[in-house]
Amino acid sequence: MNIGVRKSDIEDIGFLLKLEEESFPSFQRSTKQSLKHGIQSDFQEILIAETDDMNRNQVGALVLFKYSKSLRIYSIAILPEFQKRGYGDYLLKHALEFANRQHYEKILIEVSAKNTALIDWYKTKGFKPLGIIDDYYCEGEAALKMELKTRGMPCLKRTSNVIVINQPYKWTFKDINAKVISVKEYINNPIYQTNTDFRIFNLCSSYKYQTYGYYVSLLASARGQRIIPSTITIRDFGILNVIHSAAYDIEEQINSSLYKEKGNAFTLNIYFGQTKIKGYNFLASKLHQLFEAPLFKVDFIKHDEKWMIKKLKVLTLNKVPEPDLNSVYEFAEKYFNKKRFNNTKLINYKYDIAVLVDPKEANSPSCPKALEKFKSAANRKGLYLEFITKKDIDKINEFDALFIRETTCVNNHTYEFSRMAYAEGLVVLDDPWSILRCSNKIYQNEIFKKHKILTPETNILTKNLFDKKVLKQMNYPLVLKQPDSAFSLGVIKVDDEDKALKAITDLFKISDMLVCQEYMYSEFDWRIGIIDNTPLFACKYYMSKDHWQIYNWKGDGEENSGDSETLSIELVPDIVIQTALKASALIGDGLYGVDLKMIDGKVYVVEVNDNPNIDADIEDLVLKDKLYDQIIESIYNRIEISKNVQRIDFRNKQK
């Protein structure tokens, strides 16, 4: 059935009046004024059903009244010439889906008490009679009030994958785990306007600026939905420097894949991460991870015996060569129906978590004992947990979640893992945006300043604009930082102008911008662990012995970090907790460690860290195994949400 639903507008008044006249007796009809009011009202939804073909025939309408806990179906009407084709069923299912997604507890409807056929029809859909309302429509015309309790029924199946296309009737492929809708329906249907639990695949006929394809990606982003391709991807496809920069990490794969090609030019069409050219699927998969678009073409050229990308072009369905359409269908079916885990290996577990670790890392975020505690917590929850390393990147799509327990960095494989896992639809801790935001002190300085969060006084130094005269105006000592410094590395304390100039000169060789902060002495820093915008643990990290930082990388032996003290959350000053929560919320809702100083009754945020330390006998000293249980529970809940099994409010309260 090719039918779409969209929100009505004033231009639909004529059709709605015709529908009222042909569908209802005079005492049940809505007036032009009431229809106009309904279109403009936030309390009502008047939805138009129309065919998704070249003719775009309007066939019926659904009118809904939205109360706080119940949804009222005011009317469902289909033009006589379109009746008995299933359109009424479709609109009722649409109302049920609307109620389900908006969490209404029940659906109400009034039916003429004389219309026994319609009453019986609603009964077959699960509606129960509540009682007769005399003289409801007019004197002598009673109504039967009916109810369907949505809380007592199983959750309606949600279509997470949605393909948006200009002309859905041209999408002839069947058995795809995705709903195909028109641009008009995506823009106007309230279900797609108010829900974030969709993955939108934009297959419009053009992505040019201010076309429908452009606006579909823009609207999906604004609605908080996962959109492929995003407006950023569409833009990046036209910027060769961005393409070369993004492809830098796979130059080796490009050249190893193309070395047998005889000519100086080669073209690869990639459909849903695969290609029909034998021997190139690995390269196609790598390119799809970098340039996330459903359909695109890559032109390569050979220069000085080295292959490089000449051009990338996003393809639309109408630009796919006719002989390739069957391959598009085959690859789409695999893409939308693929399973993200190995059933034969993991059959006894509900979900599967990959934990990225580096066994050789000297100061990893979690010690071996803590890692084993995470595994035990996962098993208690009925989840499979497997430790993986950077060589296992091709296994990512076998899991439901990725938990990174290796020090993250934008410029190494940890970010690539995070980005790829997110692209594959996994739950990710730490997500790519948290890594980006936490790794850059300049970003944090700007966002904290904007939201009036106290930080040590900070200046941003820029290489090309730096004037050493400003150093005379500074109050010493100062702390100089690389924007992406971590674990006290790339952080230098200077006591005078000469030392500052030397340190700045050295740091400018590494980064074009530096962070210059006032030095604020405190005996310890607060570290507040946060997950799902909720405090998890609290520690005092004391300075390393005879050093001004928590970590002393120049120290000898094992004692290169200061002592720590773990406290229950209730013993931490409330102003410290609230400041930490406010700061971390500006980064995201993941797992963070917020470093703060409390001086003279004021709390200053030093930084928000992704990938915080969770070590046995330190951060878990108060909660013990419950600390690991809470983190695993968060991952579990996020998986459930991503699969539309449940909804939570990120305060550990299930709805």
Q: What is the pLDDT of residues 140-183, one digit of tens each?
A: 999 999 999 876 454 444 447 899 998 887 787 777 888 888 88
What is the average pLDDT across 42-71?
87
Burial of 26 (0-12, 13-18, 19+ CB in 10 A): exposed
3-state SS class at 300: strand
Alpha-carbon span 528 to 216, nearest angstrom: 40
Alpha-carbon span 197 to 179, nearest angstrom: 13
Cβ contact 170:203 at 8 Å: no
pTM: 0.50
Report which of residues 55 and 111 the model is more confident about.
111
Query: What is the total residue count of the chain?
Result: 655
All domains of the chain, ordered by start, with CATH? 3-149 (3.40.630.30), 161-233 (3.40.250.10), 237-325 (3.30.470), 457-518 (3.30.1490.20)
What is the average pLDDT across 407-423?
88
Alpha-carbon span 605 to 589, nearest angstrom: 18
Statement: residue 463 has pLDDT above 60: yes
DSSP code per residue over 587-631 = T-SSEEEEEEEEETTEEEEEEEEES----TTTTTTTTTHHHHHHH
579-589 pLDDT, tens digit per residue, is 999 999 999 99
3-state SS class at 404: strand
Q: What is the pLDDT of residue 654?
A: 39
Q: What is the pLDDT of residue 590?
A: 96
Statement: residue 46 has pLDDT above 90: yes
Which pair of structure tokens corresponds to residue 633?
């529970």
Peptide bond into 589 cis (omega under 30): no
Q: What is the pLDDT of residue 362?
A: 83
60-99 pLDDT, tens digit per residue, is 999 999 988 899 999 999 999 999 888 899 899 889 888 8
* Averaged pLDDT of the chain: 85
Report which of residues 498 and 653 the model is more confident about.
498
Report which of residues 151 and 551 the model is more confident about.
151
What is the average pLDDT across 198-215?
85
Band (pLDDT 50/70/90 cuts) for residue 548 is very low
Statement: residue 349 has pLDDT above 90: no
501-547 pLDDT, tens digit per residue, is 999 998 888 888 888 888 888 889 999 999 999 999 999 998 765 54
Residue given tokens 């379109």 in the structure block: 82
Most confident by average pLDDT, 37-41, 107-111, 190-194: 107-111
Cβ contact 161:178 at 8 Å: yes
Contacts of 257 (CB under 8 A, 6+ apart): 279, 280, 282, 283
Amino acid type, 188: N
Alpha-carbon span 179 to 198, nearest angstrom: 10
Statement: residue 11 has pLDDT above 70: yes
Alpha-carbon span 403 to 292, nearest angstrom: 22
Most confident by average pLDDT, 108-122, 242-256, 453-467, 468-482: 108-122
208-254 pLDDT, tens digit per residue, is 877 888 888 888 877 777 788 887 777 777 777 777 777 777 888 89
Q: What is the pLDDT of residue 489?
A: 62
**What radius of gyration do the chain's Cα atoms show?**
30
Which pair of structure tokens corresponds to residue 290?
């970098």
Extended beta strands in 335-457, E state = 351-356, 383-388, 401-404, 427-429
- Rounded to 5°, the CA angle 476-482-488 comes to 80
Q: What is the pLDDT of residue 241?
A: 74
Q: What is the pLDDT of residue 652?
A: 41
Helix (H) / strand (E) containing 632: helix 625-642
Report which of residues 65 and 198 the model is more confident about.
65
What is the average pLDDT across 181-192?
85
Q: Are strands 383-388 and 351-356 parallel, antiparallel or unpaired?
A: parallel
Closest CA to 29 of 38, 39, 18: 18
Band (pLDDT 50/70/90 cuts) for residue 1 is low
Which pair of structure tokens corresponds to residue 83?
């009746």
- Rounded to 5°, the CA angle 367-372-373 comes to 95
